[in-house]
Amino acid sequence: MANETPHDLGRIFSTATKNGIVIPAFNVPYLPMIVAVADALAEHDTFALIEVARLEFFKFEAGSLAEVAEEFRRHADTRVTRLHLDHTPVIDEDGVRVDWRSFIAEALDLGYDSVMIDGSRLPLDENIAVTAEVVRMAHSAGALAEAELGSVLGHESGPMPPYEELFAQKAGFTKIDEAERFVAETGVDWLSVSIGSVHGAIGPATRNQTKVQAKLDIEHLRALHDATGIPLVLHGGSGIRHSYIEDAIRNGIAKINIGTDIRQPYVRALDETGSVRAAQAAVRDKMRQIICDVYRIEGSASRLHTLKEGI
């Protein structure tokens, strides 16, 4: 098993951005999903992150930071994947203040390769201050840091307003001048931006519903990438029309978070058969489709490791 450093992960992402190669990040709200995702990445020689968000410990069955890290080390080949801590909010989707500092510190102590702080519900100055602190924490541990600016909707409780109305109003979109300042003052490695995507619903009554088919404002994305100059992240990657995804990758999106697309097949198969193995097989089948048919990135691990030294 390869054992490259997290800072090599930074070079991989830089190479991906320069060469138009997307790096998916697969959320694993149930521990048995980890081996299915890891096996699919190895089988298809595809580089991606395996990630878990704070809410997946409390509203799903991801276990704990330690259990996820242990399962990852047991099954994952670091040549094709690394472990990422997804959304760690300062204020969560229920409006509750979170002890984000200790949560991120625990993940770094456990060897997570990258971490995300989500201060998107804070005023800009406070988001900058919190993110800068997390960047220092991560870099001192040899890890990378992601943050969010703007607001990718979908995790909040209650019904979401009509999507077309939100898109027309550019509700929650990342502001270009704020993004330029944010990156300059925080030194963050990756920035999650809001350009039209939405998160999958997480409420028990809605989490298995089909996601709205979101659109992306590619002109806004291009301006954000020009202003920031760093790899950008698209959250809520499930359910977006592929033509938008292709344009997004060409215009600065290096990481796309995918949760609903693999979570729903897992839960559906588990409910129908009662078999964890059948649910894992459903995830592997969906992973093959995402890798080979949707993003067409089979073999990206070899390509990224070959390209990185010369870029």
DSSP class of 113:
S
Q: 185-213: string of b/e by CB count within 10 Å (b at 16+)? A: ebebbbbbbbbbbbbbbbeeeebeeebbe
Find the Cα–Cα–Cα–Cα dihedral 17, 21, 22, 23, rounded to 10°: -90
CA distance 97 to 274: 37
Between CA 111 and CA 108 the distance in angstroms is 5
In eight-state DSSP terms, residue 30 is B
What is the spatial distance between Cα 155 and Cα 194, in angstroms, rounded to a whole number? 14
Nearest to 127 by CA among 117, 119, 115, 116: 119
Of 43, 47, 3, give the one whose Cα is nearest residue 26.
47
Pairing of strands 253-258, 232-234: parallel
Phi-psi region of 63 (alpha: psi -120 to 50; beta: other; left: phi over 0): left
Catalytically active residues are 86
